[in-house]
Structure 1
């Protein structure tokens, strides 16, 4: 019992020092090298990380149109306020990867899918998956200060076309480098 309490105390101190607060998580994955460690600890303690929003480089939120369940008109990037369709739950895939993979679950419980695993500019994202499989796995690569690149299972990055603010041709998954349009401010606990 004493070792469990001591371990919990060490874990709480570590989380506080790492900038992660259990009540309002703003950094779900601290860095690429620490993301598995931080993500595993968060998943083990808190389970899924709910209420996560993705802000594009020009200040718009990603929206899962209809709260998920779609294969066309899936994602918009023009929201200026946070509603239920802008909230996602991060689900640890539990695949044991050194760079933790998350499923991005919509408000209605569907997972986002990077069609083909990424590398596309048309038919890029679906939101109708009911199981977390390979194409539903994403890594959140920390760029610092709460900004992340969203990496697909095959190593491409999601791009908010035009930096956001769109209802058509909103997301691409073919970027191989992180530039301005591949950066998202991620905050959780909304």
Structure 2
């Protein structure tokens, strides 16, 4: 492929995921990823700072979607409702991408450095979400608790989605996980 071929970023992401799956993260070089994608190393570094970042592309866009959806929620929405709406919105980004998400998660789980990077990403999401909730007038510790619960809901739903057979999509698991959290926090019925 020539340098002019479209979607260099997408080709690089696919090449990296393929090579990480075949050879492992540690044994794969940027030069190999670039060659597999049909671009130069220089092109690789125009898109990604290092070989880890190819797995985390779109992180800032997801964070923006999460915080913007909460910020734009109706004023009457309870903090957890606004958060749930945002989680379901970002869950929609993954529609039809279960196989890619499974492959990416397998690479991350096989490497401690990548697991750490994933944890940092989730912590950053929680911090941004808490700040957005505070900007909506939610006081602490409620803002922080809601944000952390939201990220926990997302992580549980994401794992369930990856481990499930085809059928339900990530937003369905997010909705189910939220309902399960509500069920364990609801007062017992008298009856």
Q: If the TM-score is normalised by the length of the shorter chain, which range does it land in? A: under 0.3
Greater RCO (Cα-Cα under 8 Å, separation 6 or more): 1
Q: Per residue, is there more strand in 1 or in 2?
A: 1
State the TM-score, normalizing by the size of structure 2.
0.27
User: Which structure would you say has the larger Rg?
Assistant: 2
Q: Per residue, is there more helix in 1 or in 2?
A: 2
